[in-house]
Amino acid sequence: MMAPLEIKSGVFWVGVLDWTLRDFHGYSTEKGSTYNAYVVKGSEKNVLFDTVKTTHYDEFVQRLREVIDPEKINYIVVSHAEMDHSGSLPMVVDLVKPEKIFLSKPCKEALEEHFGEQVRQWPLQIVGTGDEVYLGGKTISFLEARMLHWPDSMFSYIKEDRLLISNDGFGQHYSSSERFDDEADWGELMHQTAKYYANILLPYSPIMIKKLDEIAAMNIEIDMIAPDHGVIWRKHVPEVVSAYRRWAEGMCQDKAVVAYDTMWHSTETMARHVAEGLMSRGVSTEVMDLRVSHHSDVITEMLEARGIALGSPTLNTGYLPRMADLVCYVKGLRPIKKVGAAFGSYGWGCESVKLLNQELEAMKVKIVHPGVKIRYVPREGELQPCFEMGIAIAGAIYEANTKQK
Ligand code: FEO
């Protein structure tokens, strides 16, 4: 079994690797995940930060015992009530018998809802931003992170170690043999970090901006960020913080996503021509067939794409179900500052483009072209409007991106 790891003097990773996770409530996790937990040993008190999913409890306790006798843990910090971190908590509380459990007020309420009456017997102590707990040579300073991404979410800063334990923030669903950012494959790591942001944190971007500002105003040094998922940031802390700011502010590249579903390849042909128009103007273009592209990958590509083109033929006065799935998912994640347009083929009714335009408007996407509809099968010369739509989107991308600089 993989040994625990001392990530700072007296601070140990005691998490688990979940290599087989492939779905996190609709978010495809092709690289699995990790559930990170940490033990911090002070000269007077020892603390456990978070637990793991119940499925991995035995492995977690085995690793924990290599670092410390569980009965010597004085405190538990519960950063977040979601089950991937708190699932094992009742069993861990029985094992550790902590003197205190520190948590935010909404976390107390959430734990009561999750675990019922037993929670009332636990030695809970509510903490908030600025509250501190001294461990002997190490001090925990709590920083509430409400709605990043649940009301109960909380970060903890270990002052003497300049270590931020950031719960879901800065995390990745990424199981790997490496525990640190500088050991991991950089491209994969940043892809998984962006995917996590796009699929979990994106709707809370305005709150994220305020939290990043708040942390900056605290004027604290952070030389390590230890999230509850994925690898630990020790070399690239400034890079991941600035990526978070970029994503939260809706900064984009000269990039577009053309996402479509198709019935008999007409809308697919249209998608290719929209993409040709975009590419003819030098826009980096991702063409995503929804029959083979998962909605969580589409939103990941949309994260830094200024342009969005959605295509579907009309089916039963609507659009195809895979497009409905994408629209529902993306709408909930509320990407900002996008430009876009819709297209699709039809036979008799031709509702899909009108409906997709309404959805784009509902997503506050600036519509830069009225849309292209083609009856049944595109004929010679009919595809030029699709190419021109690509050019129109490209123009809007460059205009918006020039303003952001
Ligand atoms: Fe990783 Fe929101 O739990």
pLDDT of 93 above 90: yes
Classify strands 318-319 and 305-311 as parallel, antiparallel or unpaired.
unpaired
Cβ proximity of 197 and 296 under 8 Å: no
Residue closest by Cα to atom 3 of ligand 1: 82
268 within ligand 1 shell (Cβ under 6 A): no
Strands 366-367 and 372-375, bridge-based pairing: unpaired
Strands 318-319 and 5-8: unpaired
Closest-CA residue to 37 (of 1, 85, 73): 85
CATH architecture type of domain 256-398:
3-Layer(aba) Sandwich (3.40)
pTM exceeds cut of 0.95? yes
Is residue 168 annotated as part of the catalytic site, yes or no? yes
Beta bridge partners of 232: 180
84 Cβ inside 6 Å of ligand 1: yes
149 is catalytic: yes
When pLDDT is averaged across residues 208-224 and rounded to a whole number, the result is 97
Query: Does 191 qualify as catalytic in the annotation?
Result: no
Contact 276, 387 (CB under 8 A): yes
Cβ–Cβ < 8 Å for 148, 169? yes
Q: Residue 168: CB within 6 Å of ligand 1?
A: yes
Which tokens sit at 163?
A: 């270590």
Q: How confident is the model at residue 230 (pLDDT cuts 50, 70, 90)?
A: very high
Domain ranges of the chain: 5-248, 256-398
Q: Is the CB of 80 under 6 A from ligand 1?
A: yes
Q: State the distance from the centre of ligand 1 to the C-alpha of 235, rounded, in angstroms.
A: 24
148 C-alpha vs ligand 1 centroid, how far in Å? Answer: 9
Q: What would the two tokens of residue 168 be?
A: 């879901």
Give percent helix, percent strand, percent coil of the chain, each to the nearest 5: 40, 25, 35
Residue 229: pLDDT band with limits 50, 70, 90? very high
**The pLDDT of residue 360:** 98
pLDDT tens across 264-323, in order? 999 999 999 999 999 999 999 999 999 999 999 999 999 999 999 999 999 999 999 999
Average pLDDT rounded to a whole number, residues 236-255? 98
Ligand 1 binding pocket includes 286 (Cβ within 6 Å): no
389/384 Cα distance (integer angstroms): 9
The answer to whether residue 196 is catalytic is yes
CA 76 to ligand 1 centroid distance, Å: 17
Instruction: Tell me, yes or no, if 131 is annotated catalytic.
Output: no
Structure tokens at 174: 């990424």
Q: Is 229 in the pocket of ligand 1 (CB under 6 A)?
A: yes
Please state, as a whole number, how many other Cβ atoms lie within 10 Å of the Cβ of residue 148.
23
Alpha carbons 6 and 4: distance in angstroms, whole number:
7
Catalytic residue among 168, 228, 286, 297: 168
pLDDT of 405 reads 74
CB of 18 closer than 6 angstroms to any ligand 1 atom: no
Determine whether the shortest distance from the Cβ of 152 to ligand 1 is under 6 A: no
pLDDT in tens, 57-86: 999 999 999 999 999 999 999 999 999 999
Question: Closest ligand 1 atom to the C-alpha of 153?
Answer: 2
The catalytic position among 35, 56, 85, 149 is 149
Domain 5-248 belongs to what topology? Metallo-beta-lactamase; Chain A (3.60.15)
* 82 assigned to active site: yes
Protein residue with its CA nearest to atom 2 in ligand 1: 82
Could you give the CA distance from residue 245 to residue 240 in angstroms, rounded to a whole number?
9
What pLDDT is recorded for position 380? 85
pLDDT digits (tens, 9 = 90+) for 151-167: 999 999 999 999 999 99
- Indicate which atom in ligand 1 lies nearest the CA of residue 149: 2
Question: How far is residue 60 CA from its own chain's centroid?
Answer: 24
Q: State in Å: Cα 85 to ligand 1 middle.
A: 7
- Is 94 noted as a catalytic residue in this protein? no
Q: What are the distances in angstroms from CA 373 to CA 173, 259, 308, 312? A: 39, 16, 17, 10
- Pick the catalytic residue from 56, 85, 173, 229: 229
Q: What is the pLDDT of residues 153-209, one digit of tens each?
A: 999 999 999 999 999 999 999 999 999 999 999 999 999 999 999 999 999 999 999
- Nearest protein Cα to ligand 1, atom 1: 168
User: Is 8 touching ligand 1 by the criterion CB < 6 Å?
Assistant: no
Whether 44 is a known active-site residue: answer: no
**Mean pLDDT of all residues in the chain?**
98
Confidence check: pLDDT of 210 > 90: yes
Question: From the CB of 53, is ligand 1 less than 6 Å away?
Answer: no
CA gyration radius for the chain?
A: 24
Please report the pLDDT score of residue 295 as a whole number. Answer: 98
Closest ligand 1 atom to 229 CA: 1
Percent of the chain past pLDDT 90, that is, above it, reads 98
Ligand 1 within 6 A of 31 CB?
no
The string of DSSP codes covering 216-242 is: HHHT----EEEESSSPBBSS-HHHHHH
